[in-house]
């Protein structure tokens, strides 16, 4: 009977210790994960957009080499109606 009570005491003690410790560990790992995701997002954002400063205004624009600059120039001739 004493052995069972000792086991239950240590099991409950271990459970509360685990719950208490997991709050700190989970908080630590969650903050670290969010920080890593934030750095990754900021790094991708800086690569994609370029900034140009005009006075106090900062203009962000996306440089894309796939954008067509406007096509070819076609010279049309005037046709006279008869």
> Taking a C-beta distance cutoff of 8 angstroms, is the pair 62, 48 a contact?
yes
Give pLDDT, residue 52.
62
Q: What is the pLDDT of residue 59?
A: 66
pLDDT digits (tens, 9 = 90+) for 72-82: 777 777 778 76
**How far is 2 from 64, CA to CA, in rounded Å?**
75
pLDDT for 50 beyond 80 = no
Give the mean pLDDT of the chain.
80
Q: 54-65 burial by CB neighbour count: b if 16+ within 10 A, else e? A: eeeeeeeeeeee
pTM (two decimals): 0.43
Residue 1 — very low, low, confident or very high, per pLDDT cuts 50/70/90? confident
**pLDDT recorded at residue 7:** 94
């Amino acid at each position: 009977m004493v052995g069972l009570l000792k086991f239950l005491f240590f099991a409950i003690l271990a459970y509360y210790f685990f719950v208490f410790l997991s709050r700190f560990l989970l908080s630590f790992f969650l903050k670290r994960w969010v920080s890593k995701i934030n750095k990754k997002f900021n790094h991708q954002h800086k690569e994609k957009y370029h900034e140009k400063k005009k006075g106090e205004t900062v203009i962000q624009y996306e440089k894309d080499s796939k954008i067509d600059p406007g096509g070819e120039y076609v010279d049309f001739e005037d046709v006279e109606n008869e």
